[in-house]
Amino acid sequence: MNFVGQDILSVDQFERADVERLFDVADAMEPFARRERITRVLQGAILSNLFFEPSTRTRISFGSAFNLLGGEVRETTEIRETSFAKGESLHDTARVLSGYSDVIVMRHPEPGSVGAFARASRVPVINGGDGPNEHPSQALLDLYTVRKEMRARGGGIDGLRIALIGDLKYGRAVHSLCKLLALFEGVRFNLVSPPGLEVSEEIAAALRRRGHAVNEGHELETGIHHVDIVYVTRTQEERFPSQEEADRYRGLFRLNQAIYTEHCEPNTVIMHPLPRDSRSQAQELDEDLNANPNLAIFRQTDNGVLVRMALFAMVLDVVGRVDADARPVTWYTGKRTPR
């Protein structure tokens, strides 16, 4: 697809070549995100960060990505601040707010709402998550992380062996990642969930139709054998019909360093869409893994800034000009290792 001026609403918009082009641009953003260089290519441009549902990390990640390209950010963080309470339609809100910026990132609890907004908007809209439906930049940063981690280990996405662990029924991130991985060749999926939280039959069938190998199972330990990447998810408690039902699944699968050492190949990458649930009853990813260099979960969120910078640069058609007025950073940037 041609990114310029497009809305980014769904992973379904992407072909393999699109993803690869986007990721090459994301790679080029690294010196800026690492604060080695600054660019002002979007100086004077305005992002409207419209968050009708709270999401601090997604909001700040998009905002920082835009700032790193030199642009300004205007924000709204609460649905009750809006005119919806006075009966305004999403169409009117979109027509009005799209007059205030060059590009919009929108998050909204209602599936389809961001698409409806985009149809009435006069500037490109990026979906920052519309409830259980889509959150394409999350899926893209996950896949970008897969590519980067595999490259660092001498591999690629084709032929990848990946275990997806946990709540595969309600986990939006997993569904979208499956769709993007399906664009590549010969991926082997281990889909490991508690009984009742399996991925839907459509998703598994679609993967098989594209020629990928799909193994389903209910046991963590066997599921993480012989894979390159273990992608663990939180139980999406807020999407369950009731808290009682959610409670039945809490803490069923827990990956820790001992299990990793016993069952995983060396250098198996550990991913997670975050936040991970650190409450004692949950802990799907134990904190004793924090010292494991293959724990890629914070590299994932750092990669999110790169992917979002790339999306802005491609949608606003400034990829070729990013380097133009780039210059070295002159303040302290001695990034520290956490104590």
Three-state secondary structure readout of the chain: CCCCCCCECCHHHCCHHHHHHHHHHHHHCHHHHCCCEECCCCCCCEEEEEECCCCHHHHHHHHHHHHHCCCEEEEECCHHHCHHHHCCCHHHHHHHHCCCCCEEEEEECCCCHHHHHHHHCCCCEEEEEECCCCCHHHHHHHHHHHHHHHHHCCCCCCCCEEEEECCCCCCHHHHHHHHHHCCCCCCEEEEECCCCCCCCHHHHHHHHHCCCEEEEECCHHHHCCCCCEEEECCCCHHHCCCHHHHHCCCCCCCECHHHHHHHCCCCCEEECCCCCCCCCCCCCECHHHCCCCCECHHHHHHHHHHHHHHHHHHHCCCHHHCCCCCEECCCCCCCCCCC
- Answer for which of 16, 31, 38, 218 binds a copy of itself (CB under 8 A) is 38
Stretch that binds a copy of itself, among 52-60, 138-146, 163-171, 173-181 (CB under 8 A): 52-60
**Mask 92-121, x = binds a copy of itself (CB under 8 A)?**
xxxxxx-xxxx----------------xxx
Is residue 128 involved in binding a copy of itself (CB under 8 A)?
no
Is residue 4 involved in binding a copy of itself (CB under 8 A)?
yes
Nearer to a copy of itself, 221 or 277 (CB): 277
Is residue 293 involved in binding a copy of itself (CB under 8 A)?
no
Applying the rule CB under 8 A, the residues between 314 and 333 that interact with a copy of itself are 315-318, 321, 329-333
Is residue 21 involved in binding a copy of itself (CB under 8 A)?
no
Q: How far is the CB of 337 from a copy of itself (least distance, A)?
A: 8
Applying the rule CB under 8 A, the residues between 196 and 235 that interact with a copy of itself are 234
- Answer for which of 8, 14, 48, 183 binds a copy of itself (CB under 8 A) is 48
Nearer to a copy of itself, 102 or 134 (CB): 102
Stretch that binds a copy of itself, among 105-113, 174-182, 197-205, 311-319 (CB under 8 A): 311-319
Nearer to a copy of itself, 209 or 335 (CB): 335
Nearer to a copy of itself, 114 or 183 (CB): 114
Q: How far is the CB of 313 from a copy of itself (least distance, A)?
A: 9
Q: How far is the CB of 198 from a copy of itself (least distance, A)?
A: 22
Do residues 156 and 134 touch, judged by C-beta distance below 8 A?
no
Is residue 77 involved in binding a copy of itself (CB under 8 A)?
yes
**Mask 179-198, x = binds a copy of itself (CB under 8 A)?**
--------------------
Do residues 42 and 321 touch, judged by C-beta distance below 8 A?
no
